[in-house]
Amino acid sequence: MQSFQPPRRILMGPGPSDVSPRVLSALARPTIGHLDPQFQALMEEIKAALQRLFNAPDHACVPLPAPGTAGMEAAIMNLLEPGDRCVVAINGAFGGRMADMAGRAGATVVTVDHDWGLPVDVARVEAALSGAPTKVLAFVHAETSTGARSDAASLCAVARKHGALSVVDCVTSLGGIVVDVAAWDADVVYSGTQKCLSAPPGLSPIALSKRAQAAISGRKEKVRNWLLDFNLLMSYWGGEGGRTYHHTAPINALYGLHEALVAIFEEGQQAAIVRHARTHEALVAGIEAAGLSMLVAEKDRLPQLNTVRVPDGVDEAAVRTHVLKHWDLEIGAGLGPLKGQVWRIGLMGASATAWHVRLCLTALCEALNAQGFKADAQAALAAADGKLG
């Protein structure tokens, strides 16, 4: 074997996003023990920073030692017991994954299915909640498979109205658009480090309300997951000075998360949201000037995940191959019913810059022209620059 030397890529797919040099540098700091007093102090800083980032001052906030899917599994498995009724809104791949997990927890799962590319319909969800007593409503705030944003505040409100706990997937939204757990009165909200936080994949920040914590501690049977059982996990993360061994924390990954949190607060959360919105507007202007169109209606689009329709006669995989080979640029393919029909272009975290927008438009137009689709790169760049100022 030889040491692995990865190529330098520009990451503009659905995740991971580019990681800043300061975060990469933080990952290389000396490893210490997961019960070291200095590391325990770092844990407290991370918990407080996540409360601030989620705007969840009354929630328990911790980073789970696995990617965003672990946040989903932790939320579902900790809250649901066999026979509980769970309503899941599905408007893309990750709502479908929630429903699958709820079934594995033994719940009675009721799905509210939508066409991919649409936001979750609050009225239809409320109708499903009215059908019978429901333990959990689960939905995706920012659907990574389509680029659609749903109304988290309204969905959490109908959950509360009908006595259900809300589980909100914010894997793609946290750090890129407003995530306001306190204002939503949400119960469990989780995310991932590899999207708008611009840290490497491998951790899942999660926030749990007091209602959720009470439901977990009052379970009739054990959680069907040992590592992510909050009754066990919080013995390690729960409080300074009183921690007991639960698992060996991913110490260096937590250094990276800490540095990413320092960076986002230095920039300012609102400034980061504005940056994502501004680069999104520029990209969309360039995409449309190049003769392409977006999947999601303007009012429902995520700024950080842009789903572009593939023109008739264009081989979408060949375009992705071209930009990777010639520009070291990664963009994403469609999933499920959108496979072969769209590209997913991420503007997340350190990848949400004017430079990234211009490079992506240039590379995409070149790849399209190589297939005979006339895409005017100069027009696309001029349209983008008009939004960037």
pLDDT in tens, 226-249: 999 999 999 999 865 578 899 999
Output the average pLDDT for the chain: 97
Q: Read off the pLDDT of each residue in 11-34 and give the average, rounded to a whole number.
A: 97
Residue 155: Cβ within 10 Å count = 25
pLDDT value of residue 241? 59
Q: Read off the pLDDT of each residue in 305-332 and give the average, rounded to a whole number.
A: 98
pLDDT value of residue 238? 85
Q: Read off the pLDDT of each residue in 329-354 and give the average, rounded to a whole number.
A: 98
Q: Read off the pLDDT of each residue in 282-301 and give the average, rounded to a whole number.
A: 98
How would residue 281 be classed by pLDDT, with cut points 50, 70 and 90? very high
Statement: residue 21 has pLDDT above 70: yes
Mind listing the pLDDT tens digit for each residue in 342-353? 999 999 999 999
Mind listing the pLDDT tens digit for each residue in 81-103? 999 999 999 999 999 999 999 99
Q: Which domains does the chain have, with CATH numbers?
A: 20-265 (3.40.640.10), 269-388 (3.90.1150.10)
pLDDT value of residue 150? 98
Q: Read off the pLDDT of each residue in 365-386 and give the average, rounded to a whole number.
A: 97
Q: Read off the pLDDT of each residue in 256-272 and give the average, rounded to a whole number.
A: 98
Q: Read off the pLDDT of each residue in 58-75 and give the average, rounded to a whole number.
A: 97
Q: pTM of the prediction?
A: 0.97
